[in-house]
Amino acid sequence: MSHRKGTSTKQAADPELIAHLQCLGLKTLGEYRQWCVENGFRTSLRKRRFQRREELLYFRRQMAVNCLRQRKQEQRSILDKLDAVCSVDAEIRSIPNPTLRNILKLYVVQRGRINRSGIVRTSFLKLISQLYRHQSKLLAEDEAMYEWNNYATALVSIATKARWWIRPVETWRPRGRNRRLQLASLLRHLFVKYQMPLFFDSVWLTYSSPNYEICRDWYLDVGLGRNIRHCQLPIPYTKKMAHYFMQGPRDLTIFQALRWGQIRGLGGDIHQARAILSTRLASGFSRDEFWTSVIHWLIHHSQLDRRQIRLLIDYFIFQRYGVSPEEYDDESAPVNEYCMKGRTVQSLIRDATEWYLDQENRKRTPEHVWEPSGLPEFDYRDEGPGDQSSKRWVIRELLNSYELDAEGNQMNHCVGSYADSCVGGECSIWSMQIELQQGFKKAITIEVRKENNLISEVRGKANRLPNPRERNVLRRWAETAGLEFSRYVNV
């Protein structure tokens, strides 16, 4: 009996046996023998190392199976919970968890898209449960509610594209400490096989514009390795443009990146690309043939700075489309054939500056404003003498002191001092302008006395007399408006 007791004591003090028990999560020899019985192992304490190694491997496999089973149960529990939240019967007041309340708010707003099909709804619940289980920032609401709405809407858009998921969402883990990085990792896990620029993620953050649904299809194509040139782009794209497009800065939107690739592919540098993207050409591509010629011209004249480029773009909008830069959009139609052929930097900067100053004067409240005289304005196209082409002429009334000042400054005469006479109703001042390739140009200034409808004075730049072509247009207007000429006016 003493021999057996000594053997038992020796086995109990065996450091390898003690370490083995600790690895199995057991404390006593009795618990170890019970574990061996339950799992089909010998109950002897004297075992070789390979036998203990087999027990340890079996224990670890069982731990993994139990962990997986527990995760599946948790997943089913979360899915059941989310399925109950995303229903018409759920009420926000009855849900204490703030994250689940946000999910319900999202479901209420996006119910039509989520319930579009069973696949979309199931995919949405799987996606949200994975984010919820890992406490992703994409579900965390903060003070920037508008930003949270954008990211939440992006999750719905991702669920609607579940047919294109290339990896299971259950294997995704959050990467990064902010929403933008976590969204980027989620998109690349689900849709991307190859490299994808970060600016492309912006297509998922906008839902209101139908154009962005097309852009999301571009994302899916590029994510699978297709070249952006083969997508249905709004402008022609070369291989070089596609190369620079994929290298676009992360702060751009998708349409800005398209313009970036075009500018860089045409030979523009980074500074020129940034300057053009600061104008109204950043995102619009309607009737882009003209704007492509503008970009070619700007790239060729690299001495222009950002301020001058913005001024010229606004000026081109006015000349080509006849609207202010603020009114210009993709629906604007050209009003003339204004083009870039033969334009010089000096003349364009001069004309654009004059136009800008004139527009600023029009925006300001004039010192004096008066009522129209009641005479009709005039719009006429004449036949040029000899080989000269026909031109369009307009005669319009000046109705405030700023217009008078601008007329006097451009024509270099003293019509700006006639404001008091116009306010008093003694006379009206008219400007005759001719339409040229670069826009309308002032020709002559006309004074009409109101008491007898008499054209009393006609002067051009620096007080020159009107030329024969201008006199012909003036006579036709006088006949139309019922005006007479003073004996001092030679027509």
Once rounded to an integer, what is the mean pLDDT over residues 49-59?
88
Q: In angstroms, what CA-CA distances link 454 with 40, 329, 379, 427, 487?
A: 122, 44, 20, 9, 10
Instruction: Please enumerate in sequence order all residues whose Cβ is within 8 A of that of 148, keeping only pairs 6 or more positions apart, or say none.
Output: 102, 140, 141, 142
Dump pLDDT digits (tens) for 439-456.
Answer: 788 999 999 998 888 999
H/E segment holding residue 444: strand 439-449
Longest dimension (CA), the chain: 151
Instruction: Please enumerate in sequence order all residues whose Cβ is within 8 A of that of 201, keeping only pairs 6 or more positions apart, or say none.
Output: 180, 183, 184, 187
Segments in 40-178 forming alpha helices (H): 49-85, 98-109, 111-114, 118-133, 145-160
Distance CA(205)–CA(160), nearest Å, equals 14
For the cut 90, the answer to whether the pLDDT of residue 432 exceeds it is yes
Tell me the three-class secondary structure of 98-138, residue by residue.
HHHHHHHHHHHHCHHHHCCCHHHHHHHHHHHHHHHHCCCHH
Cβ-contact 253, 234 below 8 angstroms: no
Residue 116 β-bridge partners:
none
Dump pLDDT digits (tens) for 200-230.
Answer: 999 998 766 667 889 999 999 999 999 999 9
**Comparing 390 with 445, which gets the higher pLDDT?**
445
Q: In angstroms, what CA-CA distances link 487 with 358, 392, 455, 458, 491?
A: 34, 28, 9, 12, 10
Distance CA(395)–CA(433), nearest Å, equals 6
| Burial class of residue 115, CB neighbours in 10 A (0-12, 13-18, 19+) | middle
Dump pLDDT digits (tens) for 166-201.
Answer: 999 989 998 888 888 999 999 999 999 988 999 999
Torsion sign (Cα): 491, 430, 444, 394: negative
Instruction: Please enumerate in sequence order all residues whose Cβ is within 8 A of that of 192, keeping only pairs 6 or more positions apart, or say none.
Output: 166, 223
pTM across the whole model: 0.62
Dump pLDDT digits (tens) for 339-354.
Answer: 888 889 999 999 999 8
Dump pLDDT digits (tens) for 323-344.
Answer: 888 888 777 777 777 888 888 9
**Comparing 13 with 428, which gets the higher pLDDT?**
428
Once rounded to an integer, what is the mean pLDDT over residues 105-113?
77
Task: Look up residue 439 and give its DSSP letter.
Answer: E
Greatest mean pLDDT among 52-66, 255-269, 277-291: 255-269
Q: So what's the pLDDT on residue 456?
A: 92
Q: State CA 238 to chain mean position distance.
A: 22
Q: So what's the pLDDT on residue 117?
A: 82
Dump pLDDT digits (tens) for 391-413.
Answer: 889 999 999 888 888 888 888 89
Nearest of 477, 431, 422 to residue 458 by alpha carbon: 431
